[in-house]
Amino acid sequence: MFSTSCHYGLQAMLYIAYHHDGKKNIDLTQIAKEQDIPKHFLSKILQLLVKKKLLISTKGPSGGFRLSNTPEDTRLIEIIDAIDGMGVFTKCGIGFKECDDDNPCPIHDEYKNVRNNVRNLFENKSLLELVEDAKHGKSIISLKRTGR
């Protein structure tokens, strides 16, 4: 449903939120290495998130990225909208260009329900909720810095 760029953007934002303290920047190389995301590709994604005002970028020796808002105030839907756009929640499940309520494809109604459920999930989940789940061992993702 989402692009690879969007998946990487969600993972990077979650990583940054996990290490969020409001002041410290997280280095691009660190995110790329620890999340196993190609650095050049991640750089483009993070710059897009800066342009969309979800991240702040700072250059220099202590440079890197930090959240523009608190993890509590950042909804996952904002990240999806910034990278893939909201059109992902209206596209046909089979890929027909003309599929809509008036001209439905064979799975239109069922897929529309799934899309709406996914959209509601991402609208209601904040980065803070995901960070808290990770910190309390409720998820299997690795967001902790290695070797530090």
The span from the CA of 94 to the CA of 83, in Å, is 22
Q: Is the pLDDT of residue 143 over 90?
A: no
Pairing of strands 64-67, 55-58: antiparallel
Residue 144 has pLDDT above 70, yes or no: no
Q: Is it the case that residue 146 has pLDDT exceeding 60?
A: no
The reported pLDDT for the residue numbered 129 is 95
DSSP symbols for 68-83: SS-GGG-BHHHHHHHH
Say what percent of the chain tops pLDDT 90: 82
Q: Residue ranges of the alpha helices (H) in 36-75? A: 39-51
4-135 has CATH 3.30.750.24 classification: no
Q: Give this prediction's pTM.
A: 0.89
pLDDT in tens, 35-51: 999 999 999 999 999 99
